[in-house]
Amino acid sequence: MITKLIACLEEVGLEVNAEEIGDILWLANQMQQVAPEPGQTEQPHEKPIQPSTPISPSSGNAASTESSSSIPLKREPTVSAYSSDVIPDSGSSGESSPTPEGLPFKAPAAPALRNSLALARALRPLMRKVPSRIEFVLDEESTARQIAEYQFWSPVLQPAKERWLELVLVVEETSTTIVWQETIAEFQKLMERHGAFRNVYTWSLQTKTDGTPQIFPFQQKITGKQRSHSPKELLDATGRRLILLISDCISPLWWQGEIHNLLEIWGNHVPVAVLQLLPEQLWERTVLGLGNSVSLGTIAPGVLNSQLVVSGLPIWLEEKPKMALQFPVVTLEPESLTEWARVVAGAGSVQRLGVLFQKNWQELIPKFQSPTSQPLLNPELLIKRFHATASPLAKRLAGFMAAAPVSLPVINLIQQELLPESRQIHLAEIFMSGLLQLIEGDKQIQVSRWQYKFVEGVREILLGSVKITEIDDVLEKISQYIARKTGLQIKSFAALLTPNPDWDITVQKEVIPFAKIAIQVLRYLGEDYAALVEQLQQKPPVLTEDSEVIPNFPAIQTFDFKVKTIALVDEIEPFNLQAFEFDVALIEVNQSAQITTDNPLEIADEIIFIKTAKHLNDTEQLLIQGILANQTYEQIAALAEYSVRHLKNVAIKLWEVLSEVVGEKVTKKNLKTVLERLAAGRHLTINRHHQQSQYFVEELGNGVGLEMVSIPEGSLMMGAAKNEEASSDDERPQHKVTVSTFFMGKYPLTQEQWEAVAALPQINQELNPDPSNFKGANRPVETVSWYDAVEFCDRLSQYTGKTYRLPSEAEWEYACRAGTTTPFHFGETITSELANYNASRVYRRGVKGTYRVETTPVGSFEIANTFGLYDMHGNVWEWCLDDWHSNYKGAPTDGNPWFHNNNNLYRKQGSAVLRGGSWYYYPENCRSASRSNYGRRDNRNDNIGFRVVCAVERII
């Protein structure tokens, strides 16, 4: 089949390599799996919450082996996770059971794993084959040789090749599992079809009534005959098994240390890792936040967790503590899975993020999070804590959910119809917040039909943050969906507030939960909404305490009414906010004792091995040693008795491989510098994680847009502490500043954006459409004065109808720090891998790097701070509105610009403040607190640019 495929591709002029052929076959297999059966009708708008179907052990659920064996193998039970067709609905019949708060209907949902191909590729390091211990095949060559040489007619057998490892997925089932059920199910399917493992087994980890863990094969969930098994059943004496615990690490089993015990038992026999469903920025809110983040690595395959090499220990731990528990933590990101797979496979010096728990880790648990303490049920405190940590989208989603009964179908409907930019992570933030409680009922019913309620008093507080028009939208969307599912004809949600005795009992059971919550919401809104409820419930009440329908209720009549509301709000709606994702980096300084080598030749050998799985040969080693000794090709060739031509050919290929691995062009001239920088860079570890924020795009014409990021209100300690290295008195005294919400440019203003606005009508002065020294449409505009920047803002404001201006100094530092208190938003130091500055000098325990001697395109390092702003350190100095002051004595605390007296911008004289450093300046000038009086307002220099802010007006 493969031969025919290659022939067909060659006929149409396509040349493909082995990797591309593998991807084609993998994609074809996936398309075949999801192809609809003949006669099926596709439902593009509706999708069941659990798409999986149970797979019996006899149907080949486990990943198939490379060849069959005549010896029967013991199969462990395994089925697809979270199948909607396999869990008996024991709560579907009971008329005496309380009416649920949610709605039992299906809602649209998007694929949970959107990068499945990249995830599959990430596990390729595990696709090794080893000799089988139980299966043998005929060795034809040896058999023939034996017959020819010894006339001994007996087959010679050799072990068959089989996959190295089998995989055990242990899924922790908790009340928050509902958020991740589709993600887990799709990941399970991907692992079963991947082909990297001999077999793939799935187990369920649950909590007993006494609070201890128990595990079940998923096959027992199908039959309903659950019998717990010992965790030791997952161990494998051969060590050829991986255990992957899938969890969000927030259940009582984690807080009580029960799962730590399981990880220790498993980790002493087989490699174990935790697949954390939450992104890294939320780990601090889980049990993982009580451990120490470390790097785990090894050079041998299949090493147990306790034997992994630990690096990156905190500075207060000189060595790994005794009795410590350590394990790798991975996420559903290709980079994370690749690192983990390479660590398991023993691929050189690769390391993976892990967590190390000291013996006394439980002493660090805050009282309000301790599973033995009373739950935090005060609604005001719950909301305050939620708002302090939640993302903007999670806050909006929680407000919408407060206007509806809470179940997964309802939430999916809200996300699909009213908040399509929201994702699973935002729902997870709500489930982690403690705002919701699971309504007690039969846990054997489908997970998608579990019902939740808000803690008493929370719903009312959340509704206060939602506009009345948005509440109307929520009620209308859900009521119309109910109407479509039940066949009712209604004009508005008010028609469902009183059940009709003529409706079928199944229809009434779907309407009553919605009506119950809707009435609560309308009463909270007060005024005419509350009057509407009272009028509908006069004769007699609509719902009794047990939600039974009152017979002989009079016919429902409709009436019109008007509502007027006065509220002080932030005028956010015109900005048409969109969500975007970005990477944030934190620099960790390693201890020198943890550096494996600083030898440039050894480093070159390691990185070549990572790329090619081969070490440097003798010629390549001799070549690098000679170049490091400043020898010419002729001198090296003479010593090695090679021809110069042969040596140069070897060098050309070597430079190509090194360039690809390092990420910059490597030549004979810069080889020594590159390797020395890599050696120094080993003292730094750059930890990256994903983050999300919101922004809007201001269209400037001709396809040019200005991206403006939402900066939430908050406070900061502005300035530098006295012990901050390279700080000065003009950065003191530190003082608390509270900043209101505003928008700031995602990047420094670019040359194409400048050109677009410079073409707009003049306000006070002319603008040079092309002032920059370093040309490039996506490079920052520079060589512009403070007055030029102010004119730009005025023209942009007139063009858009919004208020654009330069940031105040307090706004700039607040936006730069993005909640950090370290010298840089990267941490305690900075590196030229992440920013453009004069890296010929180091800051604190940093390393020397590349001094580029020019600006770089904005965002080219692909790293932002946690607000989503790029290039806040280096590239170009950025103008602020404020007059220069020699210190912060008497500085405003409300985030407004600090002027001496004259607020007429075009008549201002003297110096304005510059922030952020530039490509020309040293790292200490790029600190978050650093400020410069170099900025006379008429100064134009090729290291000075700016970014703009857009004010959020408050309206009545």
* Mean pLDDT of the 32-40 span: 45
* Mean pLDDT of the 642-652 span: 85
Whether 111 shows a pLDDT value over 70: the answer reads: no
Q: Which of 873, 870, 792, 865 is nearest to 829 (CA)?
A: 873
Cis peptide bond N-terminal to 111, omega within 30? no
CA distances from 490 to 103, 229, 283, 481, 553 (A): 18, 52, 46, 11, 18
- What element of type H or E holds 51? none
Q: Between residues 538 and 435, which one has the greater pLDDT?
A: 435
> Measured between alpha carbons, how far is 238 from 471 in angstroms, rounded to an integer?
59
Contact 215, 247 (CB under 8 A): no
Can you give the pLDDT at residue 243? 94
Can you give the pLDDT at residue 474? 77
Q: Give the model's confidence band at 225: pLDDT under 50 very low, under 70 low, under 90 confident, else very high.
A: low
* Mean pLDDT of the 107-121 span: 67
Q: Give the model's confidence band at 100: pLDDT under 50 very low, under 70 low, under 90 confident, else very high.
A: very low
Q: Between residues 34 and 135, which one has the greater pLDDT?
A: 135
| 775: its two tokens | 């040309």
Whether 879 shows a pLDDT value over 60: the answer reads: yes
pLDDT tens for 702-719 read 999 999 999 999 999 999
Q: Which of 428, 434, 425 is nearest to 384 (CA)?
A: 434
* Amino acid (one-letter) located at 378: N
pLDDT tens for 276-297 read 888 887 788 788 888 888 888 8
Can you give the pLDDT at residue 88? 32
| 723: its two tokens | 């012990």
Can you give the pLDDT at residue 98? 42
Whether 781 shows a pLDDT value over 80: the answer reads: yes
Whether 231 shows a pLDDT value over 70: the answer reads: yes
User: Cα 724 to chain center, whole Å?
Assistant: 32
pLDDT tens for 385-422 read 787 777 888 888 888 888 877 877 778 778 877 888 87
Q: What is the 3-state secondary structure (H, E, C) of 600-632?
A: HHHHHHHHHHHHHCCCCCHHHHHHHHHHHCCCC
DSSP structural state of residue 212: -
Backbone φ and ψ for 772, nearest 5 degrees, come out as -75, 150
pLDDT cut 70: percent of the chain above it? 72
> Measured between alpha carbons, how far is 116 from 105 in angstroms, rounded to an integer?
28
Q: Between residues 752 and 469, which one has the greater pLDDT?
A: 752
> Measured between alpha carbons, how far is 354 from 327 in angstroms, rounded to an integer?
6
Q: Between residues 596 and 518, which one has the greater pLDDT?
A: 518
Q: Is 684 helix (H, G, I), strand (E, B) or coil?
A: strand
Burial class (CB in 10 A: 0-12, 13-18, 19+), 122: buried
Q: Give the model's confidence band at 558: pLDDT under 50 very low, under 70 low, under 90 confident, else very high.
A: low
Q: Give the model's confidence band at 894: pLDDT under 50 very low, under 70 low, under 90 confident, else very high.
A: very high
Q: Which of 935, 820, 846, 915 is nearest to 875 (CA)?
A: 915
| CB crowding 410-422: b at 16 or more within 10 Å, else e | bbbbbbbbebeeb
Contact 26, 117 (CB under 8 A): yes
> Measured between alpha carbons, how far is 767 from 938 in angstroms, rounded to an integer?
13
Query: Rg of the Cα trace of the chain?
Result: 32
Q: Between residues 428 and 792, which one has the greater pLDDT?
A: 792
Strands 931-932 and 912-915, bridge-based pairing:
antiparallel
**Cα torsion 547, 548, 552, 556: sign:** positive
Q: Give the model's confidence band at 5: pLDDT under 50 very low, under 70 low, under 90 confident, else very high.
A: low
Whether 780 shows a pLDDT value over 60: the answer reads: yes
Longest dimension (CA), the chain: 109
pLDDT tens for 733-755 read 999 999 999 999 999 999 999 99
Measured at the CA of 691, the angle between CA 690 and CA 695, to 5 degrees, comes to: 135
Can you give the pLDDT at residue 628? 85
Can you give the pLDDT at residue 99? 41
> Measured between alpha carbons, how far is 124 from 344 in angstroms, rounded to an integer?
11
Whether 956 shows a pLDDT value over 50: the answer reads: no
Q: Give the model's confidence band at 370: pLDDT under 50 very low, under 70 low, under 90 confident, else very high.
A: very low
Tell me which of 187-191, 423-427, 569-573 is least confident: 569-573
Q: Is 877 helix (H, G, I), strand (E, B) or coil?
A: strand
> Measured between alpha carbons, how far is 343 from 332 in angstroms, rounded to an integer?
16
For residue 900, count other CB atoms closer than 10 A to its CB.
12
Residues 6+ away with beta carbon under 8 Å from 932? 877, 913, 914, 915, 925
* Mean pLDDT of the 231-253 span: 87
pLDDT cut 90: percent of the chain above it? 27
DSSP structural state of residue 444: T
Can you give the pLDDT at residue 427? 81
Q: Between residues 437 and 78, which one has the greater pLDDT?
A: 437
Q: Give the model's confidence band at 802: pLDDT under 50 very low, under 70 low, under 90 confident, else very high.
A: very high
- For the chain, what is the mean pLDDT? 77
> Measured between alpha carbons, how far is 372 from 391 in angstroms, rounded to an integer?
29
Whether 651 shows a pLDDT value over 80: the answer reads: yes
* Mean pLDDT of the 313-331 span: 83
Measured at the CA of 221, the angle between CA 218 and CA 222, to 5 degrees, comes to: 100
Length of the chain: 956
Whether 556 shows a pLDDT value over 70: the answer reads: no
pLDDT tens for 824-855 read 999 999 999 899 999 888 898 788 788 999 99
Contact 900, 938 (CB under 8 A): no
**Cα torsion 867, 871, 873, 876: sign:** negative
Can you give the pLDDT at residue 194? 83
| 82: its two tokens | 């979270």
| 854: its two tokens | 């020019």
Whether 47 shows a pLDDT value over 80: the answer reads: no
Q: Which of 428, 332, 393, 384 is nearest to 692 (CA)?
A: 393
Contact 347, 610 (CB under 8 A): yes
> Measured between alpha carbons, how far is 433 from 734 in angstroms, rounded to an integer?
33
DSSP structural state of residue 827: B
Tell me which of 296-310, 311-325, 795-809, 826-840 is least confident: 311-325
The listed range with the strongest mean pLDDT (57-71, 594-608, 654-668) is: 654-668
The listed range with the strongest mean pLDDT (199-203, 487-491, 525-529, 749-753) is: 749-753
The listed range with the strongest mean pLDDT (136-145, 519-528, 544-553) is: 136-145
Q: Give the model's confidence band at 82: pLDDT under 50 very low, under 70 low, under 90 confident, else very high.
A: very low
As beta bridge partners, residue 698 has 706
| 884: its two tokens | 């220069």
Task: Give DSSP secondary structure letters for 785-805.
Answer: -HHHHHHHHHHHHHHHSS-EE
Q: Between residues 663 and 881, which one has the greater pLDDT?
A: 881
* Mean pLDDT of the 579-591 span: 84
Q: Between residues 269 and 5, which one has the greater pLDDT?
A: 269
| 939: its two tokens | 């100064």
Burial class (CB in 10 A: 0-12, 13-18, 19+), 935: buried
pLDDT tens for 903-933 read 678 888 889 999 999 999 999 999 999 999 8
Q: Between residues 258 and 503, which one has the greater pLDDT?
A: 258
Q: Give the model's confidence band at 876: pLDDT under 50 very low, under 70 low, under 90 confident, else very high.
A: very high
Tell me which of 64-73, 152-161, 259-268, 371-380 is least confident: 64-73
Can you give the pLDDT at residue 531? 59
Burial class (CB in 10 A: 0-12, 13-18, 19+), 449: buried
| 887: its two tokens | 């210190």
* Mean pLDDT of the 877-905 span: 89
Q: Between residues 16 and 46, which one has the greater pLDDT?
A: 16
Q: Between residues 599 and 584, which one has the greater pLDDT?
A: 584
